Structure 1
Amino acid sequence: MFGKSALFATASAGLLSISAAQSATNGSVVTSDAPFYGQSPPTYPAPEVRRDGLFAESVAKARALVATMTLEEKVNLTGGVTNPGNGCGGNIPAVPSIGFPGMCLQDGPAGVRGTDFVSGFAAGIHTGASWNRTLAYSRANAMGGEAYRKGVSVALGPPVVGPLGRIAEGGRNWEGFSNDPYLSGALAAESVHGIQDAGVIACTKHFIANEQETNRIATRDGNKSYQSSSTNMDDKTLHELYLWPFADTVHAGTGSVMCSYERFNNSYVCQNSKLINGVLKTELGFEGFVVTDWFAQHSGVDSSLAGLDMTMPSGATYWAGNLTQAVRNGSVPETRIDDQATRILAAWYELGLDSKSSPGVGVGMAPNLLAPHTIVDARDAADAEVILGEAIEGHVLVKNVNNALPLKDPRAIALYGYDAKAPDYNAPSPGLSPWSISLQSTDAASPICGFYGLVASACPPFPINAPNGSIWVGGGSGGNTPTYFYSPFQAFSERAFQDGTQLLWDFENVNTTSTVYGNTEACFIFINAMASEGIDRSGLHDNFSDSLVNNIADQCSNTIVVVHNAGIALVDAYYDHPNVTAIILAQLPGQDSGRALVDIVYGEISPSGKLTYTVAKNESDYGAILSPYRPSAQDAIYPQDDFSEGVYIDYRAFDAQNIEPRFEFGFGLTYTNFTYSNLRISSNSSATLSQYPTDGIIPGGHADLWDVVYNVYADVKNTGEAIAAEIAQLYLGLPGNDQPIRQLRGFDKQWLDVGETVTMGFPLRRRDLSTWSVEAQQWELAPGGTYKVYVGASSRNLPLTGSFTLRGSGNGNGTAGGYWK
């Protein structure tokens, strides 16, 4: 009656408070990861939001308001409704009796989607490649401003930290910042600050380990039902890899977290009490509300008791009147409903959405863009610098033979390839993107493959590239709808007009009959690697694009390849061609794509981006985590996706297996050279360290986890002939067994004039030095352990090395005599 899942119901009787260290074994001491792998221990009750936390004043206001509401009004806050008056992706209804105007939830991570007069920002993967905290903040703040002016209450992004990028062919990796949890978390935290400083609630997504599109949703095939894949992982991997960036956003004060579609250790995430009650709300001290991904709720009573606070897009399926009845018959305590409503209203108060000056809920989100409607221009001219800046800084130059770039007053250049021009349309469309990619299924009830429960066998093949024009963002809910698009062809045309350059182009004759003008000084070939929500990629390169590059290179001695890539793109099919002089992984730059590229190739500014993932020489180098898990006939009904590689994804795996990549994590070229020197490591003498953190819980975990306990410094000098920015990176080798050889634990980006030397700084927090103890269910330091320090330009170019040792006396367990420094 309440939508209760018989197969995956969590215990709802005898609601006991089970500590994290005891929950897996009915009170016995945890001694290994075995109780956590493949099963999700019950953790009850759902903790109430703190009254003395980060949102204390807003929580007090919310509690006072909730006290005046009826049960039905409180329940109405928890579930989405259809609102034909606006085009918001999700709506919470108004409660007129208390002056609550409702809420508008809208995508997305690269700008407000599905509307007009907004900007098309760069995708997360592009911003990640900038390694620029300030830029990440400014980008999010600009996006938040546009969302606010459109009447959006909750922006579903930009902090996307799941997927993290485990699967190389993952369809949504491009929405996040990096395959590394440290870098992802650092930029996501800045994004939370940026978007919420604009007056809009940030929604960090997708919690958690939502690492592939294949089998992410429960499906039906005739009379058979199939559960979504169960992400099975151990407790250590959860904490040290996938949970890490979520902790950063919780620490930054994110107002909401979106729970994902799949199962985690055999319990659907949106009703997984261990994850929501135990990890997110207790261990991390999360004070906001948990909202489902669209249609990701699978139960009524169970999901409420497990800590879910809001369901989208409709509350009527499992909650609404059912939830009201569940309270009245004693299945759900009304205090749980009070807390759900309080968390939602506290975030609303915290962001000032109760202000009378707020634009109005969904005021700029037209319900039908094909019909005449009131225009709300949400853009701000002051954001133009940010939009261009992020587009520039996310380009990654990975090859540049004999300084082929920047161009030096060329008399004639030629452009080739399907990706150079604007796509054929950008009109309102039921499709996912303006690149005419067919994701339409044969099932009229399931219009988009992978979205609403269609089995993979009914999905059409997904093209590796988007052949109908240049891409600036990927497809699906992470896409955007820019007011304009500045294509590479347009930008090169304007530069040719300015300089009097002969510009030639051929975007149609793309087979082996293409010929190159004899006096061309540089040939630019534009290809792409597309990806979209709903379906994973079928490869990391395609023969058509590779052949196109080689055909032009065979005829042109100065061939420059530009790849707009929504994820990893392999280049080895043409990398060693003697006429391929430069390669730019241009990624997904947003609406100023062409303008940014031309500024770079003409030397108006040096490229400064660096890779946030590893580019292999061959697809097979990624091993078992190249492709998404696809269930066998034996486990098709209850698919079991074992994350048996643990923390060894991307560069961690390449390092551990001693595989030489084509381009390592953190790699990227500029128009100058840098040298590193003078490594210094100093402890923070004011910090007294116990083996385990001892301070109370704040948003993000124990307060002392965020204390800076060491500082590392290095000098970087520009020894070349161009002004450029260097991204210095610090990696740690943590003591103990089963730890990666190196893990990113710091980065600094600064612009250097020719001949200039600057000091780069890397503060190390207690958290950065800790590993997760399954037995203690705590982050722990290694007493007497030696920490190895590596500083340099990439994960494999680390000229400076050092170490430090944490010394102490006693047993180091936080008891008398157990403190050490």
Structure 2
Amino acid sequence: MLKVAAIALRGFLVIFGAIVLGLSVTLAKQQVIGSPPAETSFFSFSGAFGLIASAIAILAIFIDKIPRVGVIVADSLASVFYLAGAIALTVALKPVSSCTSSSDIARDERYHNKLLNGGCRNIKDGIFCPNAGKNTNEKNVDSYTSGRCQEVQADFVFGRADDSLQAAGKGLGAWRDAYARARDLVDQMTLEERANITRGFTVPDNICAGNTGTVPRLGWPGLCLHDAGNGVRATDLVTSFPSALHVGASWDRNLTYQRGLYMGKEFKAKGVNVLLGPNAGPLGRTPLGGRNWEGFSVDPYLSGQLVAESIIGHQEAGVIATLKHLIGNEQETYRRPYFGVEAASSNIDDKTLHEFYLWPFMDGVKAGTASVMCSYNRINNTYGCMNSKLNNGVLKTELGFDGFVMLDWNAQHNVLSSNAGLDMVMPLGGSFGTNLTDAVENGTVDASRVKDMATRILAAWYLVGQDGDNFPEPGIGMKNLTEPHDQVDARIPESRDVVMEGAIAGHVLVKNNNALPFKKTPVMLSVFGYDATVPATKNTDVLFQLGYTSSAEMAQAVLGTEAHFDQAARGGTIVTGGRAGANGPSYITDPLSSIQHRARSEGTWVNWDLTSFDPDVNAASDACLVFINAIATEGWDRDGLHDDFSDGLVLNVASKCSNTIVVIHAAGIRLVDQWIEHPNITATIIAHLPGQDSGDALVKLLYGEAGFSGKLPYTLARNESDYSVYKPCGLVSPNDKDPQCDYTEGVYVDYRDFDAKNVTPRYEFGFGLSYTTFEYSSLSIKPLRKLSDGAGDKYASTSDELWEVVAKIEAQITNIGHVAGAEIAQLYVGIPNSPPKQLRGFEKTPLLSPKESSTVYFELTRRDFSIWDVVAQAWTIQGGNYSVWLGASSRDLLLTGNIEV
């Protein structure tokens, strides 16, 4: 009798475990929004292991060799697993019976929740939980987010997020022919075939970052998608181009276009259809951002101009560009949900969104980008790839984007993201594929939406000319490149000059007490610092790739222990940052090797000590060069903007050498006030991330074979506290599960904030020294009549009038120095009721010989004078006085004028 009772009891436990496991599978298939991924995964785990423990206990009844203590342990484990699973299941299936539809607020959509009786069913407006405070008004709006209610200021909420925002591609302008051909092919596809090309697959023989499905019946081959940043990632026989931050420091449109073109050609040669770049976000709200180096500048105008040039170059090469990450992906800390903690919500008001963070995306869409990647984080409490207002409303409707919206890898939360404007899921099928066809059949997703998704993807394919038989097969290679694979040499000999010129142009000289260029051939040079030599790791690795934790706070949350990451990559010189934006170079000309090569031809003696913190210095040294760096990578935010080891090394060398030159390879802002005023430090170079020609480019600059023209694409402060936003935002308490990032600083980021608060930086935005001197003269400002006539009018983001030239400005720049050089003239405009000045133009002169002059021209559009009207939901120009400044930096303003509107 006892044996039967034991079997019955354990049989009941097995059934209970099967129910728990079955519910977890059902939830995964139904993609219920109210189930946080961590809880769902946990009770799946509990159910599975509880079943195993129960099975062992049942077997013990029939197998005498299993000791009694084993039975007790198995029963105990089963009970613990089932109890934990039941608790997690309760949390995951927590009913939201109080949810009420509202047409006034954008929130996570919970449509067609068939599993939960208490859930919100068939609701087509955004929803909110009224229990947090009824009788809402425009100053206090209750919002629902992932099963939790909280109060959000109305200024953070922008519009509705219901299905009525869905926007089918129009296929106008440059897209017209591509859309006609895409529609013709999609019309021949079944629902399953259309769904198949919207989802990702893995192809083990050739490791693209992602692959779409194919349609063999109609001859459509599918797409290979791959990173991007400073070249083709995780492969061999490619070029490591200068990184985006380095390009931003060049302020050179033509070099940016050429880089984009040749990089695109290498991607095509490797059989990559979709290049996962360029980055318009993060812009760099916090200087600690781990991915700031993947973007061009903290200034939206400069970033937008270079984003556009990159996209044009990529797509002229025949690959699809991907503008990313839309939007507010300004930090790595809590960028994704971890262990029950939601991803951070970037709470951005409508005016700030349009005038700052969306600005470079507008330029990218205007340039014709065929793809946009949504972001991991939440925007105003709705996940980026689930944000209908953002994807359907802002991107596809307001900006008129006709390409496809792509998921950032594994950022999907449920199949209803298709209704929110998502067109492609990566790297696997996620909720698309079979789930998408099921959603159409049960009425959750309209068939027309799937047709539009497929049409947008195929239109992008046609737009860049990938149809036909001339597109190469993928040639990335195996994950382990030491294994046999077909080698595809993608390098282009014609690109070598562009790579070298780009490496030179992004170096910024910030201090020079007549130390550079070398006035005569040095008899003795001494080289110090870990950054002077090539890294000891394999060049096919993603250099300095760290884990996915992002700060001491994140390490505590994820690892259970506090951890800090070194701010310097002391394993060798850096030519790129880390992870998705990085690639393996063909070679690295590191600084020491390039200096030694030059020394060999000129008879210079070179001393070096690359490891000592307090090295011996030969008093006969003509110059001492100290090489340090500041590393950053996707996945974690930096702990600070300088490190004690590197600063101590610089000071130790400077204390013994009267001609100390500091070179900093930096993947972001790196403070220098710890030593910059030391009298023995005679020159300092911010060398950024030059790519594979790093050392050779530097030597050309040191010896005067090339001149400095680079300018800082950010402000270099004296203190960390000078930045309006310094640290990434996080949780307000240990039990908090809902990190909120309120962008209360608005558009006052970097130099806009420094100017508004009259804070003196160490080196201002746009600053950079030259080996020569330039004179600015003959400013001419010609506002067109239509500028004044249009005051107060409203302009849509896609209107031709917004992009129409309404003012022409020119000036003369003369080289009054003694050596040839190129200057970057910067145009700033003071818009009423806005930051004191904003960049609205820049122009690089040709290389000017001494006494030679060049005229720089600027054409300003109506958009350049506009602000965003949050009531009219349009751009408008205010009446008033607009100051105009032209100069060598944001604070070295040499010519002044004004325009009256």
TM-score (norm 1): 0.90
Q: 1:249 to 1:572 in 2, by over 3 A?
A: same
CA–CA separation in structure 2 for the residues paired with 1:536 and 1:217 = 13
Query: Contact 1:247–1:284 (CA<8 Å) still a contact in 2?
Result: yes
**2:270 matched to 1:169?**
no
* Deviation of the 1:85 alpha carbon: 2.1
Task: Give the match for residue 422 of structure 2.
Answer: 308
Q: Secondary structure at the match of 1:791?
A: strand
- Equivalent residue runs for 1:649-728 within 5 Å: 649-685=749-785, 689-691=789-791, 701-728=798-825
- Give yes or no for contact 2:712–2:765 (8 Å, CA) kept in 1: yes
Amino acid of the structure 1 residue aligned with 2:715:
T
Matched residue, 2:703: 602
Change (3 A) 1:689 1:290: farther
- CA-CA distance at 1:52 after TM superposition: 2.8
Query: Identity of counterpart residues, as a percentage?
Result: 48
Structure 1 residue 501 corresponds to structure 2 residue 601: no
The answer for the alignment partner of 2:31 in structure 1 is 3
Give the direction of change, closer, same or farther, for the CA distance of 1:6–1:741 in structure 2 (3 Å limit): same
| Aligned equivalents of 2:166, 2:155: Cα separation in 1 | 19
Aligned to 2:743: 643
How far off is 1:456 after superposition? 6.6
Distance 1:452 1:147, change over 3 A: farther
Against the structure 1 CA distance between its residues 438 and 184, is the aligned structure 2 distance closer, same or farther, given a 3 Å change threshold?
Answer: closer
Per the alignment, residue 441 of structure 2 pairs with 328
- The answer to whether the Cα contact below 8 Å between 1:87 and 1:368 also exists between their aligned partners in 2 is no
1:190 counterpart = 2:292: no
Contact 1:214 1:456 (C-alpha < 8 Å) held by counterparts: no
Of residues 798, 808, 819 in structure 1, which corresponds to 2:893? 798
Equivalent position to 1:557, from 658, 669, 683:
658
SS in 2 for 1:419: helix
Matches within 5 A, 1:307-456: 307-315=421-429, 317-360=430-473, 362-429=474-541, 432-433=542-543, 435=544, 438-439=546-547, 455=558
Q: Show the counterpart of 2:613.
A: 511
| Equivalent residues of 1:247, 1:701 under 8 A apart | no
CA distance in 2, matches of 1:30, 1:310: 37
Q: Which residue of 2 aligns with 1:541?
A: 642
For 2:366 and 2:814, the matched residues in 1 are separated by: 34
- Aligned equivalents of 1:187 and 1:202: distance in 2? 13
Distance 2:760 2:484 in 1: 57
For 1:15-26, what aligned pairs fall within 5 Å after superposition?
none
Contact 2:281 2:327 in 1 (8 A): yes
Q: State the secondary structure of the residue aligned to 2:732.
A: coil
Q: Deviations over 1:198-256 (max 9, x none)?
A: 00000011110100000000010xxxx11100000110000000000000000000000
Distance 1:120 1:40 in 2: 43
* Code of the aligned partner of 2:587: Y
Q: How far did 1:752 drift?
A: 1.6
Give the equivalent residue in structure 1 for 2:675. Answer: 574
Task: Describe the shift of the 1:144–1:531 C-alpha distance in structure 2 as closer, same or farther (beyond 3 A).
Answer: same
| Structure 1 residue identity aligned to 2:344 | S
SS of residue in 1 equivalent to 2:445: coil
**1:414, distance to aligned residue in structure 2 (A):** 1.0
- Aligned-partner SS, 2:762: coil
1:765 aligned residue: 861
8 Å Cα contact 2:508/2:709 also seen in 1: yes
1:277 aligns with 2:392: yes
Matched, 1:244 2:272: no
- CA shift at 1:46, angstroms? 1.2
Tell me, in whole angstroms, the C-alpha distance in 2 between the residues paired with 1:440 and 1:565: 21
Inter-partner Cα distance in structure 2 for 1:207 and 1:66: 27
Which SS does the other structure have where 1:390 is aligned?
helix
- Residue 47 and residue 53 in structure 1: after superposition, are their counterparts in 2 closer, same or farther (change >3 A)? farther
Matched residue SS, 2:893: coil
Between the aligned partners of 2:764 and 2:741, the Cα distance in structure 1 is: 27
Match of 1:96 among 216, 220, 242: 216
Question: 1:732 is matched by which residue type in structure 2?
Answer: V
Q: Is 1:2–1:319's contact at 8 Å kept on the other side of the alignment?
A: no
Aligned residue among 482, 499, 503 for 2:585? 482
Deviation at 1:782, TM superposition (A): 1.0
Shift in CA distance, 458/428, structure 1 to aligned 2, threshold 3 Å:
farther
Q: Deviation digits for residues 92-140 of structure 1, max 9, x if unmatched?
A: 0221011111111000121100000000011100000000000000001
Q: Which amino acid aligns with 2:764?
A: E
More helix by share: 2
Structure 1: distance between partners of 2:559 and 2:894: 47
Aligned to 1:743: 838
> How much has 1:293 moved relative to structure 2?
0.7
CA RMSD of aligned residues (A): 2.4
Contact 2:791 2:878 in 1 (8 A): yes
CA–CA distance in structure 1, aligned partners of residues 378 and 595 of structure 2: 48
Q: Note closer, same or farther for the CA distance 1:98–1:146 as it changes in structure 2 (3 Å cut).
A: same
Q: Quick one: higher RCO (CA 8 Å, sep 6+), 1 or 2?
A: 1
Structure 1 position 686, deviation (Å): 6.6
Instruction: Flag the 1:279–1:133 CA change in 2: closer, same or farther, 3 A.
Output: same
In 2: Cα distance, 1:452 partner to 1:152 partner: 35
Instruction: Give ranges in structure 2 of 5+ residues lacking alignment.
Output: 1-28, 36-106, 112-121, 127-136, 142-151
Structure whose alpha-carbon radius of gyration is higher: 2
The alpha-carbon deviation at position 412 of structure 1 amounts to 1.1
CA distance 1:683–1:38, change in 2 (3 Å): closer
CA contact (8 A) 2:385 2:422 kept: yes
Question: Relative to structure 1, is the Cα distance of residues 691 and 456 closer, same or farther in structure 2, using a 3 angstrom cutoff?
Answer: farther
Aligned length: 770
In the other structure, the counterpart of 1:753 is 849
Partner of 1:153: 273
Whole-Å separation in 2 of the counterparts to 1:184 and 1:498: 41
